[in-house]
Chain A
Amino acid sequence: MNLMEYQGKELFRRSGIPVPRSQHCNTPDEVAAFIEKNPGKWVIKAQVLMGGRGKAGKIKFASTSEEGRKAAVEIMATPMPPNRQNPDGEPIHSVLVEETLDVALESYCAISVDRTTKKPAIIVTRFGGMDVEEVHEKHPESFHTFFVDTAIGYSPFIGRELAFKADLDAGFRKQFPAIVAGMYNLFFTYGATLVEINPLILTKDGRVIAADAKVSLDDDAVFRHPEFKEWQKTLPLDADETLAAQAGLGIRNFRTFPGTVGTMANGAGLAMATMDAVKNAGGEIANFLDVGGGANAQRVRNCYELVVNHTGAKVFFINIFGGITRGDEVAKGIVEALNTTKARKIPLVIRLTGTNEAEGRRILKDAGMTPVETMDEGAARAVELAR
């Protein structure tokens, strides 16, 4: 679960990380009213998950309530344009009105989960305020990482050591260990998989402040923090994720592609291998779909309708490795699903294994479907039928 900037900063505030004074606003009127009451120089920032807001003109400045209103109207009038990170773009539903800072220097600090060492990794570079990937290309030597022993946890020496190694300006040094302590506290308390400050700012009057906030929370840990359920509801799902949720699947279990061969398999690994098999057979895939365990009639029907109604599939290739499930029961489920759906009919190619698989294939054949024995055979048949 990726948080918006204003949500991340709320967690920063709770964790003792200094952030600029700000107000989250859902409408241009709210922006104008806030600036009316709080005169000064303000920056209006679109609240989206995508990066590249500055380049897209979605960050504007305002000194009066009217300027604030106008800026918010302009920002919210059009969605974020597509970029490499998000080819769909993203609608803008709210803005953050924030105090402007007199910036002296910008640096970067993040904590994430490192799979290789199986430890939290704290990463620092003195180059902040740019796309971090770009910094890594230009100044790879500027990155310094500390892998935290979870049995010990965070201790201030880690922040001190990183500040020296990364050659952060002396102005950062005194406050830096406490800021990293706050980040680590947030990371563990809320089950974050990423806490990123880019840029971490040193102001001309010597304050160190998190000017932006990127926080990802572990979806598997949200149950420990019921307060995030409200946020979860407000966060945007893309088109595929919305459809997956409606079909009762996990939001990552379904993705559409421009091709004509619809696919479904049980298990993410097999679903990926099924897509690869279609590609290998010379076809173009219409989607990725992991139906998970228990391919019963209801689930198969939902998945069938999902693929037929929302992708360009001309054929549907179902690949179920039964394992301990009974092939005849899965076959009956598929037939029942297809007999009860109101969606338009497209040809089905079904690869089915498991106990009683021969019986399962007979049931499918009797129902007018195309049962096959292997994944390669199924992919080849599906590609042929899609032409």
Chain B
Amino acid sequence: MPCRKEYVKESKDPQEVLDCLQEKFDKDLAVEIFREQKAGVENKTQFIELWLKITRERFIELVDELFEFDFLHFHITSGNDDGDVVTLYYHFSLFRVADRGKRLGLTIGVAVPKDDLVMPSLFDRIPGIEYSEREIREMLGVDFDGLPNKALIFLPDDWDQTIKPWRRDETGPGPDVVRELS
């Protein structure tokens, strides 16, 4: 999948981006947060932050759609064990070099069911995502289909890989392995 390796100079209005995505993804896309970030003496809106949630099936489609706007600059993946699902949040920037105040902070949330903890890898589109996918793999136990290097990244080599440090269920660290955190 060839992706542009260049940033656009012309930004689009965040609402326009959102309308375009909602039209295409309809019910599969939910808007969680549309936040105006304010700053300065007059407390004016400086830039926009947008949190979306997409179904896993259409995640890659959404990413490819976003690449139509700009190269998707990747910040980090965060996530949490939410009971039946592990929710991952991919944090991106659009229009990173467009102009003053034009960056659009974009978070895409995906719920991954615990009985099938696999996500498609974005490594071929964004090579800079490698560490983060490896991190999520070892910390939350979500596998990435298409990620070439699945070695441990932050955990030591002799780590018992049945323990997933960020999980809150039986695969997470039990009280017997956690010491003196206060």
A and B form one complex? no
* Residues of B in contact with A (beta carbons under 8 Å apart): none
* Residues of A in contact with B (beta carbons under 8 Å apart): none
